[in-house]
Structure formats: C-alpha cells, structure tokens
Amino acid sequence: MTSACKILLIEDDRETADYVAHGLRELGHTVDVAGDGAEGLFLATEESGYQLLIVDRMLPRLDGLAIVKTLRDTGLNTPVLFLTTLGGIDDRVEGLEAGGDDYLTKPFAFAELVARVQALARRPPLQSEATVLRVADLTMDLVKRRVWRADRAIDLQPREFRLLEYLMRHADEVVTRTMLLEQVWDFHFEPKTSVVETHISRLRTKIDRGFDTPLIHTVRGAGYSLYADA
C-alpha cells in the first residue's frame, strides 16, 4: 500500500464524487472535492499540498482540459488522472497532450482507479518552475497575475505583464530588442515600429516612478536589463 496522499477530486457528478472520495478516504487518503471546473482550478492553485488531481473532462463552468492546461502553463506539475466518459483514442491523446499523466474512462473498476492513483503517487515529484518571481523589491505572482513593488500594487496590461515577466526571468542579463519582439510579441521579422520602446517607457513609469532605485535600464547599443543597482 502506497502511503496516503492529499488528493483533489474535480467531479460534477455527485454520486461518482461521493463514491470515489469515500473509497479513497477508506484507504487513508485525504480527499477534497470540487463540483465544477472553476472551483477545482481555484482549489488547485490556492490550496497547497495536493499530490494528485483526479479530473473529469466534462465539467460546468470550466472543462477539465482547460484546468490542466492552465495549471501546466503556470508551472504546477501536480500529477493529473483524467476520469471521464470520453474514452476515444483522440480523447485520450488530447487529454495527455494537455498535460494529463493518466487517463481512465467511466465506467471503471475502483480497484483499477486505486492502482493508477498508487502508480502516480509513487512517481518522484517534478521540479516545478517558480510561480513567484522576485528582483529586489519587485514581485510577480504568475498564478494570480499580480505585480507589486515594495507595498504598492502595480496594474499591468497583458502585454506589459509578459514583457516584465521576460525581463524578470532574465534579470541581470541584457535582452535585445529582437529577443523581446520574438518572445513577447511573437514577431520573427522587423516590424518597423517603436512598439518595444513604447512599452518599455510605459513599464518604467509603472515600475520605477516614485522609487529611489530604478530597475529597468537601457544598455546603449544593446538593449535592456532589469537589475537593482548595488
């Protein structure tokens, strides 16, 4: 018997949810249940310590694929077992490509569910990407999509957020205009515009104005760098 783990079950069918949760709890696991996709995503990102997610594909408010894609995009690598009536080959491939680790179709034998839970629980944890970036007193929460410097919250537009994220991931490095065009705007050609310069200027206003130490620096003839002066 694998040691007990903390499991989040995202299942809108109450009968199935009660059956699975009861059976897993009898085996010593801790099981939280979410009845729709939005609640499930909230718990998966806000609650800590889940070692396994069991996710239905067809859920109200937010489907299972969207939940798993969102979690993977934010760097959360908690193992996911899809438990669903969608059992076609294409459905399985779609679920695994979205970031699922295993796939079990309904109706199912509880013994098989337990075996799959135990197999996933035995896997060594993956190294997750950091979900919070920090440079000096500047902090970015990638999951909650929030940014603040010292005690001041900073409101960023989506493109500004992506730009700042790239700069923070490459703090103390020089990033060129071409690198920013490719990574932030997905341009693989010279657009002949000042879009980078304009966004850097706006970002400077939001990040540096009112603070004694600037963080966004222009490296003449090369590009930009995010760092705190020693």
- Are 205 and 156 within 8 A, CB to CB? no
- Both 137 and 114 in one domain: the answer is no
Q: Are 111 and 145 part of one and the same domain?
A: no
pLDDT score at 67: 96
Distances in Å between the alpha carbon of 208 and those of 154, 178, 201?
11, 23, 10
Kindly report the CATH number assigned to the domain that includes residue 139.
1.10.10.10
Q: What is the mean pLDDT of residues 172-200?
A: 89
Q: What is the pLDDT of residues 51-68, one digit of tens each?
A: 999 999 999 999 999 999
Mean pLDDT score of the chain, rounded to an integer? 90
Give the integer Cα–Cα distance in Å for 202 and 205.
5
pLDDT score recorded for residue 77: 85
116 and 14 within one domain: yes
Q: Do 93 and 198 reside in the same domain of the chain?
A: no
74 belongs to a structural domain: yes
Mean pLDDT of 117-121: 89
Provide the pairing of β-strand 152-154 with 216-219: unpaired
- Mean per-residue pLDDT for 69-87? 90
* 111 and 137 inside one domain: no
Q: Is the pLDDT of residue 3 over 80?
A: no
Q: How many Cβ atoms sit within 10 Å of the Cβ of residue 226?
A: 23
Last residue of a domain, one of 122, 143, 178: 122
10 and 80 share a domain? Answer: yes
Task: State pTM to two decimals.
Answer: 0.56
Q: How many CB atoms lie within 10 A of CB 5?
A: 19
Residue 85 sits in a domain of what CATH number? 3.40.50.2300
What's the average model confidence in pLDDT over 27-40?
A: 95
The whole-angstrom separation of Cα 116 and Cα 91 is 18
E strand intervals along the chain: 6-10, 30-34, 52-55, 80-84, 102-105, 132-135, 138-141, 146-149, 152-154, 216-219, 223-226
Q: pLDDT at position 124, please? A: 63
Overall domain count for the chain: 2
The residue type at 71: L
State the residue range of the domain holding 206: 132-226
Reading across the β-sheet that carries 6-10, which strands appear in turn? 30-34, 6-10, 52-55, 80-84, 102-105
- Within a domain: 1: no
Residue where one domain finishes, among candidates 80, 98, 122: 122
Q: Which residue has the tokens 């990102």?
A: 45
> Per the domain annotation, does 177 fall within a domain?
yes
Structure confidence at residue 129 as a pLDDT band (50, 70, 90): low
Rounded to whole angstroms, the Cα distance separating 62 from 41 reads 8
Is 10 in the same domain as 117?
yes
Both 18 and 114 in one domain: the answer is yes
- Residue 36 belongs to some domain of the structure: yes
DSSP string for 215-227: -EEEETTTEEEE-
In a domain? residue 96: yes
Same domain, 118 and 10: yes
| CB neighbour list of residue 225: distance below 8 Å, 6 or more residues apart | 167, 171, 172, 173, 174, 175, 216, 217, 219
Residue 108 shares a structural domain with residue 163? no
> Does 14 lie in the same domain as 101?
yes
Higher per-residue pLDDT: 127 or 171 = 171
- Name the band, by pLDDT with cuts 50, 70 and 90, for residue 19: very high
Give a yes or no: residue 141 inside a domain: yes
Model confidence at 127: pLDDT above 60: no
122, 152, 183 — which closes off a domain? 122
